[in-house]
């Protein structure tokens, strides 16, 4: 069976056809413009690439993933201009005539890492992406994390020392929430140079604080952390060190005996986690 996958990000969409990392056919990437234009490009890509059994979409959010909801498959309260209350999955299903699976971009990436990457065999783990925004999701007790809605790691509240960092934060809803302080957008808005070590020390501090909260709530067996900001050399190492200091030995588990190198890891699938996970998502409804 051949599936279609869409990593529907706020900046770009990545569409692929295939069955997994060793059988990845055509991949196309285009910018996220208007909903009409963006959806049309995705439909054109799949329609011109032969027969697929189903499509999986990992979307930016917040999104409605409640199966019984009249707005299932829609993007809901996003602040992204033009995209609030957008029909995504039902529109694709109508246009392509195949079942469409719909989840968050981070849950899709988590599914990819669980199937082929850094989280194979784990029962409970989290995936976090630190890019323009901060998203999080994962698998709890063997299934994707859903619930009231879906996880929104980026909107946790974390300590903010205004003497050290007087920046107000960029979140239009919450100001200095986790995403408001530690996202790529926050780094840009705060200014400062990428060569400034203090800036990365501050970033590591915020990321470690957010990770402490993920560990204290979800208790993941591993955390996979990706996204553009994490490509900064040394940042992952700084975050591991600070995370260990903040936990202060309270959480004791064999996974942490050798330090955090095997606990807090980069995505094994790299930038392909999202689109590969979307293919896996498609498999669930085919």
Contact residues for its own copies, defined by CB under 8 A:
62, 66, 69, 76-77, 123-125, 136, 140-143, 145-160, 173-174, 209, 212-221, 246, 248-256
Residue 203, C-beta contacts closer than 8 angstroms, at least 6 positions apart: 182, 187, 229, 232, 235, 238
The distance of Cα 274 from the centroid of its chain, to the nearest Å, equals: 8
Asked if 277 and 108 count as a contact pair (C-beta separation under 8 A), the reply is: yes
β pairing state of 86-87 and 24-31: unpaired
Minimum CB distance to its own copies smaller for 65 or for 100:
65
Minimum CB distance to its own copies smaller for 148 or for 195:
148
DSSP state of 286: -
Question: C-beta of 107: minimal distance to its own copies in Å?
Answer: 11
Minimum CB distance to its own copies smaller for 13 or for 60:
60
Question: C-beta of 116: minimal distance to its own copies in Å?
Answer: 21
Minimum CB distance to its own copies smaller for 44 or for 255:
255
Minimum CB distance to its own copies smaller for 209 or for 224:
209
Question: C-beta of 174: minimal distance to its own copies in Å?
Answer: 6
**DSSP secondary structure, 29-56, as one string:** EEE---HHHHHHHHHHHHHTT---S-EE
Question: C-beta of 219: minimal distance to its own copies in Å?
Answer: 4
Compute the CA torsion angle 213, 219, 225, 227 (nearest 10 deg): -60
Question: C-beta of 284: minimal distance to its own copies in Å?
Answer: 14
How many Å apart are CA 15 and CA 31, to the nearest integer? 11
Question: C-beta of 254: minimal distance to its own copies in Å?
Answer: 8
Count of C-beta atoms within a 10 Å radius of residue 199:
17
Minimum CB distance to its own copies smaller for 16 or for 108:
108
User: For residue 135, with 0-12 CB atoms within 10 Å meaning exposed, 13-18 middle and 19 or more buried, which class applies?
Assistant: buried
Q: Is 154 helix (H, G, I), strand (E, B) or coil?
A: helix
């Amino acid at each position: 069976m051949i599936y279609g996958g869409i990593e529907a990000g706020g900046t770009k969409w990545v569409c692929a056809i295939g069955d997994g990392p060793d059988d990845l056919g055509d991949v196309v990437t285009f910018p996220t413009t208007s909903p009409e234009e963006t959806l049309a490009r995705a439909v054109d890509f799949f329609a011109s690439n032969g027969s697929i059994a189903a499509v999986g979409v990992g979307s930016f959010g917040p999104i409605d993933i409640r199966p019984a909801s009249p707005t299932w498959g829609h993007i809901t309260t996003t602040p992204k201009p033009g995209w609030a209350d957008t029909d995504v999955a039902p529109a694709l299903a109508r246009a392509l005539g195949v079942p469409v699976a719909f989840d968050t971009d981070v849950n899709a990436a988590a599914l990819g890492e669980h199937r082929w990457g850094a989280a194979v065999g784990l029962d409970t783990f989290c995936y976090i992406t630190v890019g323009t925004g901060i998203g999080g999701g994962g698998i709890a007790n063997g299934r994707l994390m859903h619930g009231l809605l879906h996880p929104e790691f980026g909107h946790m509240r974390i300590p903010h020392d205004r003497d050290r960092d007087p920046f107000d934060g960029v979140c239009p809803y919450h100001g200095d929430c986790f995403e408001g302080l530690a996202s790529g957008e926050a780094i840009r808005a705060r200014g400062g140079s990428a060569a400034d070590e203090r800036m990365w020390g501050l970033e590591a501090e915020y990321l470690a604080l957010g990770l402490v909260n993920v560990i204290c709530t979800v208790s993941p067996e591993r955390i996979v952390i990706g996204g553009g900001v994490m490509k900064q050399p040394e940042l992952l190492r700084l975050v591991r060190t600070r995370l260990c200091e903040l936990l202060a030995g309270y959480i004791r588990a064999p996974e942490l005996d050798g330090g955090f190198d095997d606990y807090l890891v980069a995505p094994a699938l790299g930038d392909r986690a999202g689109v590969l996970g979307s293919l896996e998502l498609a498999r669930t409804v085919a």
